[in-house]
C-alpha cells in the first residue's frame, strides 16, 4: 500500500525499458496498489499505463519536473497479485519494455482505457410467429429466408456464429425482427452439455490422471507424452473435471483455436459450465467478456491461444498446454515470448501443476524430463480399438511423377477410396507452384522487394510473394528472351488439386489452405463437411494436419517430406519430424487400420529412417546428442538480435556497434556470432542482418543483455534501423 502523498512509478507502453515517475493525483478515491490502470500525460499524448510502485518522495531526486497522474481508472488492480509478478518476470526474461508487456496482458478495450463492463453475447431465435410463418412469403428475400431456416434448424445462434456462417446477416436479421419473426436475447453463459458417452480410462490414462491429481497442490510440471490418438484429450477432460469439483479454474492453452475446434467442442460437450474463450477470432467486446468471467472466477475453464497465458484468473488450479511443441506458442513479433515457457513460470508462481501434452515433445521439454525437472507420463497405445498406422517410405527417385504425384500413391489412393475410406494428402505449400520459369533462358520470377521467388496462383493468373504483399499479373512472355515457354516449377496445393481432379473425377475433393479458408468460419464449414462424408479426398497444408480427428481417413499421403532434411536452420529437422508424425496421426484413428505413404527422394536418409523405423523417442535422442555436441539449445541459451533498414549498410553497422559494446562488457563464456546478413537478406524492401548471442548458461546471457539493452536505447544508429531482440528464438531468419 502506498502513502497518498507519493511518487508513482508507472509502466507506460513505450519502447523504453523502464517505468516513469509521476506525482500521485491530489484527489484519490481508491487505495493505490500495483496493477491499477492510470491515465497519464506522456510526451504530448495521453496514455494508459499501469501503476507498479509507490515511492517515497525522498527517494526521488527532484519532484519539480514531474507530471501528475491524470486519473485512476480502476478501483481494484486489474493486473495485481501473481500475474503482476509474472509480467515483471517476463519483462526481465525477454528484455522487453515493461510498459509494453503490461499492455499486452490486457484486452484491447481495457488497454484503451475502457471500463470493465460485461456485455454477454446477443443471440437470435425464432418468435412464435416465426415458428409458424410460411417461408414462402419471403420468396423475394432469400437472405431472410435463409436466416429463418437456419434458426429453425439450430434454435439459437449468436452474433458470432452468424458472422461465421452468413455474410451480411445483420440487415436481413433486422428486417425479420421488425416483422416480429425473430427475437434477440442475451446469451445464457452456460450451454447445456450434450450427454456424451464418457469412455472409461485405460490404465495408462488412469495413472496419468492419478499422478497429476496428486500433484495439484504445488508446482509440479508434467510431460504427457502420448502417441497421436492415445487419448490425451480424455486425460485433460478428466483432470479438468477434478479441478472444477474443487472449485478451481483450469487454463488450457492451444496452438490455434481455428485449427483445433474439436478440442473446444469436446470441453463444451463434457461440461455444463461457462467457458472463457480467448483467441483472435473474437471481437473486442467478446474478448473482454471472456477476460471478465475468467477474472471473476465465473468461468471454470479458460481456453485460449498464447496470450491467454496472461489472463487474470481468480482461482487457478491447473494449467494444460496442448501440443506443447507447436511453434505458434512463440510470438514472432513485438513482445517475443513463448507462452509455453511463461506458463511454466506462471505455474511455479501460482504453485499449481502444469501438464505439457504432445505426441512429439520439443527437445527442450525432453531435456527437462531428462534433468529430472519435469515428470514424464506416457501413453504408448492408441485409445479404444484404434491401431497405430503403418508408415511406408515411397522411393520416388527416377519415377514418373505427374504434378508431384507418383503412380504408386495414386494406385493406393484408388484402393482406399474403393473400400470406402477417406484419403488425406499433405503438402505444406500453398499456391500452384513455387515459381514460374522460362524454359528457354532459365529466367524466373523474383519479388523485387524480397530475396524470394513469386508463387504462381494459376486460378487467379497472378504471381504473389508470400513474404510481402506484392503481387503481379502472370506475364504472357519472358521479359528477358521474349519466349512464351513460361513453365510452373514444383508443386503447391492448388496444382495437386488440379491433378487430383483429373485422376479422381468421381470423388469429392476438398482443398484446405489459407487461400481456400480466408472467409471467417469457412474452415469450420469444411471440417463439418468432412465429417458428413461429403468429400473423400482431403488435401491441405498444416491447417489440416493438426489435432483433427477424422475417423474415416485410412490413407495419409505426404507429398514432399524432405523440405526439412537439408535446411540451414538447426531446428528444421525437429519440425519436419513433428510434422510427419502429426500428419501420420490422422490415419486410422477409428476401427479401420491406417496407412501412411511418404514420397521421398531420400529414402535412406539416416534421420528419416530412424524416425520411421525406431520412433520419435530414439530420433529425438539422436538429435539431442547432436545438439549437445554442437552446443545448441537446450545445451546452451541463445538470443538473436535482428536489425533491418531500407539502407543496405545500416543493419550491419548497427550490429557491429552492438558487437563492440557487448565485447566491452567482457562477460565470460558469451559467444557473439555475426553480424551476418539474415538468411533472407532482403524482405519487403528492407535489408536485414543478425547477431547471434550464445551462452552456455542462461545467467551469463542475462548478465550481458540487461545492461546492453539499456545502452542500445541511446544508440544513434539504433534509431535509424528497426531492431529487435529475440530470447530463445525458434526461427533463425
Task: Convert residues 230-269 into a mask of x (bound to ligand ADP by CB under 6 A) and - (unbound).
Answer: xxxxx-----------------------------------
Q: What is the SS3 assignment for 18?
A: coil
Residues 78, 50: Cα–Cα separation, whole Å: 9
When the beta carbons of 379 and 425 are compared against ligand ADP, the nearer one is: 379
Which partner from the list Zn ion, ligand ADP, none does 234 bind, CB cut-off 5 to 8 Å by kind? Answer: ligand ADP
The candidate with the shortest Cα–Cα distance to 464, out of 452, 479, 476, is: 452
Spatial CA neighbour of 585 closest among 546, 620, 626: 546
Q: Please report which helix (H) or strand (E) contains residue 689, including its range.
A: strand 686-695
Sign, CA dihedral 415-417-421-423, equals: positive
What's 403-431 look like in SS3? CCEEHHHHHHHHHHHHCCCEEEEECCCCC
Q: How far apart are CA 177 and CA 93, in angstroms?
A: 54
- The gap between the terminal CA atoms of the chain, to the nearest Å, is 46
Closer of 359 and 465 to ligand ADP (Cβ): 359
Does residue 535 have a cis peptide bond before it, meaning omega lies within 30 degrees of 0?
no
CA–CA dist 452, 461 (Å, integer): 19
d(CA 646, CA 342): 34
Yes or no: say if 463 and 445 are a contact pair by the CB < 8 Å rule: yes
Min CB(234)–ligand ADP separation in Å: 4
Tell me: does residue 441 bind Zn ion (CB under 5 A): yes
Compose the 144-183 pattern: x for residues touching ligand ADP by CB under 6 A, - for all others: ----------------------------------------
- Say which residues have a Cβ less than 8 Å from residue 197's Cβ, sequence separation at least 6: none
Whether the link from the prior residue into 634 is cis, omega within 30° of 0, is: yes
Q: How would DSSP label each residue in 211-225?
A: HHHHTTTS-EEEEEE
Rule CB under 6 A: is residue 729 a binding residue for ligand ADP? no
> Which residue, 230 or 433, is less far from ligand ADP as judged by CB?
230
Q: Which is nearer to Zn ion, 376 or 471 (CB)?
A: 471
Query: In angstroms, what is the minimal distance from the CB of 506 to Zn ion?
Result: 40
Residues 199-228, interacting with ligand ADP (CB under 6 A): 199-202, 205, 226, 228
467 binds, among Zn ion, ligand ADP, none (CB under 5 to 8 A by kind): Zn ion
Residue 229 interacts, among ligand ADP, Zn ion, none and using kind-specific CB cut-offs from 5 to 8 Å, with ligand ADP
Give yes or no for residue 387 binding Zn ion (CB under 5 A).
no
Question: Least separation, in Å, of the C-beta of 92 and Zn ion?
Answer: 36
Across 254-366, where does the E strand assignment appear?
Answer: 275-278, 301-304, 316-322, 353-358
Q: How many CA atoms within 13 Å lie on the side-chain side of 218?
A: 1
C-alpha angle with apex 581: 575 to 583, nearest 5 degrees? 100
70 and 304 Cβ atoms separated by less than 8 Å: no
468 lies in the site for Zn ion, by CB under 5 A: yes
Site string for ligand ADP, 183-202 (x = CB under 6 A): ----------------xxxx
Quote the least distance from Cβ 267 to Zn ion, whole Å. Answer: 40
Residues 163-192 that bind Zn ion (CB under 5 A): none
Residue 722 binding result from ligand ADP, Zn ion, none, given CB thresholds of 5 to 8 Å by partner type: none
For the window 549-578, what string marks contact with ligand ADP as x by the rule CB under 6 A?
x-----------------------------
Is residue 229 involved in binding ligand ADP (CB under 6 A)? Answer: yes
Residues numbered 651-670 forming contacts with ligand ADP, rule: CB under 6 A: none
Residue 635 in contact with residue 625, Cβ under 8 Å?
no
465 counts as binding Zn ion under rule CB under 5 A:
yes
Other C-beta atoms closer than 10 Å to the C-beta of 133 total 17
Among 143, 375, 378, 449, binds Zn ion (CB under 5 A): 449
Asked if 422 and 550 touch (Cβ cutoff 8 Å), the reply is: yes
Chosen residue from 89, 335, 443, 635 binding Zn ion by CB under 5 A: 443
Backbone angles phi, psi at 94, to 5 degrees: -95, 0
Choice between 55 and 468, CB closer to Zn ion: 468
Nearer to ligand ADP, 589 or 683 (CB): 589
202 binds, among Zn ion, ligand ADP, none (CB under 5 to 8 A by kind): ligand ADP
CA distances from 104 to 5, 74, 308, 482 (A): 30, 18, 10, 53
Q: How far is CA 313 from CA 13, 66, 302, in A?
A: 23, 35, 9
Identify the helix (H) or strand (E) that includes residue 164: helix 159-165
Stretch that binds Zn ion, among 224-232, 237-245, 296-304, 443-451 (CB under 5 A): 443-451
Q: Does 383 bind ligand ADP (CB under 6 A)?
A: yes
Between 554 and 645, name the residue whose CB sits nearer to Zn ion: 645
Yes or no: say if 231 and 379 are a contact pair by the CB < 8 Å rule.
yes
Report the partner that residue 381 touches, choosing among ligand ADP, Zn ion, none (CB closer than 5 to 8 A by kind).
none
> For residue 607, which phi and psi values (nearest 5 degrees)?
-70, -40
Give the one entry of ligand ADP, Zn ion, none that residue 111 binds, where binding means its C-beta sits below a cut-off of 5 to 8 angstroms depending on kind: none
Residue 510: which H helix or E strand, with range? strand 509-512
Among 297, 384, 490, 677, binds ligand ADP (CB under 6 A): 384
Q: How far is the CB of 519 from Zn ion (least distance, A)?
A: 25
Q: Which is nearer to ligand ADP, 381 or 636 (CB)?
A: 381
Size of the residue set binding ligand ADP (CB under 6 A): 16
Cα diameter, the chain: 84
CB of 475 to Zn ion, least distance (A): 11
Residue 470 or 601 having the CB closest to Zn ion: 470
Contacts (CB under 5 A) with Zn ion, residues 470-529? 470, 478, 480-481, 483
Residues engaged in binding ligand ADP (CB under 6 A) = 199-202, 205, 226, 228-234, 383-384, 549
Residues engaged in binding Zn ion (CB under 5 A) = 438, 440-441, 443, 447, 449-450, 465, 467-468, 470, 478, 480-481, 483
Amino acid at each position: 500500500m502506498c502513502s497518498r502523498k507519493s511518487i508513482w512509478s508507472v509502466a507506460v507502453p513505450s519502447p523504453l525499458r523502464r517505468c516513469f515517475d509521476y506525482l500521485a493525483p491530489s484527489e484519490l478515491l481508491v487505495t493505490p496498489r500495483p496493477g491499477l490502470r492510470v491515465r497519464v500525460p506522456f510526451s504530448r499524448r495521453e496514455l494508459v499505463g499501469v501503476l507498479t510502485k509507490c515511492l517515497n518522495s525522498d527517494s526521488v531526486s527532484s519532484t519539480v519536473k514531474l507530471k501528475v497522474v491524470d486519473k485512476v481508472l480502476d478501483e481494484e488492480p486489474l493486473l495485481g497479485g501473481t500475474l503482476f509478478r509474472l509480467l515483471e518476470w517476463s519483462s526481465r526474461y525477454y528484455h522487453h519494455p515493461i510498459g509494453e508487456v503490461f499492455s499486452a496482458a490486457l484486452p484491447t478495450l481495457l488497454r484503451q482505457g475502457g471500463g470493465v463492463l460485461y456485455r454477454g453475447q446477443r443471440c437470435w431465435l425464432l418468435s412464435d410467429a416465426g415458428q409458424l410463418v410460411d417461408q414462402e412469403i419471403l420468396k423475394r428475400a432469400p437472405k431472410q429466408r435463409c436466416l429463418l431456416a437456419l434458426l429453425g434448424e439450430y434454435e439459437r445462434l449468436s452474433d458470432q456464429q452468424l458472422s461465421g456462417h452468413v455474410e451480411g446477416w445483420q440487415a436481413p436479421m433486422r428486417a425479420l425482427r421488425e416483422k416480429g419473426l425473430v427475437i434477440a436475447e442475451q446469451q445464457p453463459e452456460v450451454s447445456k452439455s450434450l450427454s456424451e458417452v464418457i469412455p472409461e480410462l485405460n490404465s495408462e490414462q488412469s495413472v496419468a490422471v492419478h499422478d497429476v491429481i496428486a500433484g495439484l497442490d504445488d508446482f509440479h510440471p508434467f510431460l504427457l507424452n502420448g502417441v497421436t490418438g492415445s487419448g490425451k484429450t480424455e486425460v485433460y477432460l478428466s483432470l479438468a473435471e477434478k479441478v472444477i469439483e474443487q472449485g478451481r479454474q483450469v487454463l488450457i492453452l492451444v496452438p490455434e483455436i481455428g485449427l483445433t475446434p474439436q478440442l473446444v467442442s469436446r470441453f463444451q460437450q463434457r461440461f455444463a459450465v461457462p467457458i472463457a474463450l480467448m483467441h483472435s477470432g473474437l471481437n473486442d467486446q467478446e474478448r473482454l467478456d471472456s477476460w471478465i468471467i475468467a477474472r471473476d472466477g465465473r468461468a471454470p475453464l479458460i481456453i485460449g491461444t498464447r496470450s491467454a497465458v496472461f489472463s487474470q484468473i481468480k482461482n487457478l488450479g491447473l494449467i494444460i498446454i496442448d501440443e506443447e511443441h507447436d511453434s505458434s506458442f512463440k510470438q514472432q513479433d513485438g513482445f517475443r515470448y513463448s507462452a509455453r515457457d511463461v506458463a511454466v513460470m506462471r505455474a511455479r508462481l501460482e504453485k499449481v501443476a502444469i501438464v505439457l501434452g504432445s505426441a512429439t515433445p520439443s527437445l527442450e521439454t525432453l531435456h527437462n524430463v531428462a534433468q529430472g525437472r519435469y515428470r514424464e507420463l506416457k501413453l504408448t497405445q492408441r485409445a479404444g480399438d484404434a491401431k497405430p498406422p503403418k508408415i511406408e517410405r515411397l522411393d520416388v527417385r527416377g519415377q514418373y511423377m505427374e504434378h508431384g504425384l507418383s503412380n504408386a500413391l495414386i494406385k493406393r489412393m484408388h484402393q482406399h477410396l474403393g473400400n470406402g475410406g477417406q484419403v488425406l494428402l499433405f503438402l505444406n505449400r500453398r499456391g500452384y507452384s513455387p515459381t514460374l520459369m522460362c524454359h528457354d533462358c532459365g529466367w524466373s520470377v523474383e519479388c523485387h522487394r524480397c530475396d524470394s521467388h513469386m508463387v504462381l496462383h494459376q486460378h487467379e493468373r497472378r504471381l504473389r510473394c508470400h513474404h510481402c504483399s506484392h503481387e503481379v499479373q502472370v506475364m504472357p512472355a519472358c521479359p528477358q528472351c521474349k519466349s512464351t515457354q513460361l513453365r510452373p516449377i514444383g508443386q503447391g496445393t492448388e496444382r495437386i488439386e488440379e491433378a487430383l481432379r483429373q485422376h479422381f473425377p468421381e470423388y469429392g475433393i476438398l482443398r484446405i489452405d489459407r487461400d481456400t479458408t480466408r472467409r471467417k468460419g469457412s474452415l469450420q464449414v469444411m471440417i463439418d463437411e468432412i465429417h458428413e462424408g461429403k468429400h473423400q479426398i482431403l488435401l491441405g497444408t498444416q491447417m489440416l494436419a493438426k489435432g483433427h480427428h477424422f475417423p474415416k481417413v485410412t490413407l495419409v499421403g505426404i507429398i514432399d517430406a524432405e523440405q526439412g532434411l537439408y535446411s540451414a536452420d538447426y531446428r528444421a529437422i525437429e519440425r519436419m519430424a513433428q510434422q510427419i508424425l502429426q500428419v501420420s496421426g490422422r490415419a486410422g484413428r477409428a476401427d479401420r487400420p491406417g496407412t501412411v505413404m511418404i514420397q521421398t527422394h531420400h529414402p535412406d536418409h539416416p534421420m528419416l529412417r530412424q524416425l520411421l523405423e525406431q520412433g520419435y523417442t530414439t530420433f529425438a535422442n539422436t538429435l539431442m546428442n547432436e545438439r549437445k555436441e554442437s552446443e545448441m539449445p537446450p545445451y546452451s541459451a541463445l538470443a538473436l538480435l535482428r536489425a533491418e533498414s531500407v539502407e543496405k549498410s545500416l543493419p550491419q553497422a548497427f550490429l557491429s556497434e552492438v558487437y563492440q559494446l557487448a565485447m566491452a562488457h567482457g562477460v565470460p563464456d558469451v559467444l557473439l556470432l555475426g553480424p551476418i546478413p539474415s538468411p533472407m537478406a532482403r524482405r519487403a524492401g528492407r535489408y536485414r542482418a543478425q547477431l547471434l548471442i550464445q551462452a552456455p548458461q542462461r545467467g551469463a546471457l542475462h548478465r550481458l543483455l540487461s545492461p546492453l539493452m539499456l545502452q542500445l536505447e541511446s544508440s544513434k544508429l539504433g534509431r535509424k534501423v528497426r531492431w529487435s531482440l529475440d530470447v530463445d528464438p525458434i526461427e533463425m531468419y
